Amino acid sequence: MNPTEVAVEQYVYDYIRTCNTESLVAIFQFMECVTLEEVPTDTLHLKYRVTVSETPELLGAELSAEEVFNAEKYLDMTVDDLQMVYNLICDMRNERPTHQL
């Protein structure tokens, strides 16, 4: 990895580890090309249902918060995916992207 990739990956990872639930859901939906709906539960554990997906087998699937919020899955992304997540986060933070991979 070149220094720019390392800086962008660290920026993405730091944001994902510290952002709010809504931001994590938005990033997950963007990267997985799905729409999620929170499933009411009688516990403190969050669950989400896939309501829109290009992949038929995902439609209606229930995902745990751990599956949606797992920051580790954003490590070792392709350069294109890393750039997309970086750009999305910059948009969410109303910042102008300063790195191009």
Name the burial class of residue 49, with classes exposed (0-12), middle (13-18) and buried (19+) by CB atoms within 10 angstroms of its CB.
middle
Contact criterion met (CB below 8 Å) for 68 and 48: yes
Spans of all domains in the chain: 3-92
For residues 59, 46, 32 and 52, what is the CA-based torsion angle, rounded to 10 degrees?
30
pLDDT digits (tens, 9 = 90+) for 47-88: 999 999 999 999 999 999 999 988 777 777 889 999 999 999
Average pLDDT over residues 27-52: 93
Average pLDDT over residues 3-14: 91
- Would you place residue 15 in the very low, low, confident or very high pLDDT band (cuts 50, 70, 90)? very high
pLDDT digits (tens, 9 = 90+) for 16-33: 889 999 999 999 999 899
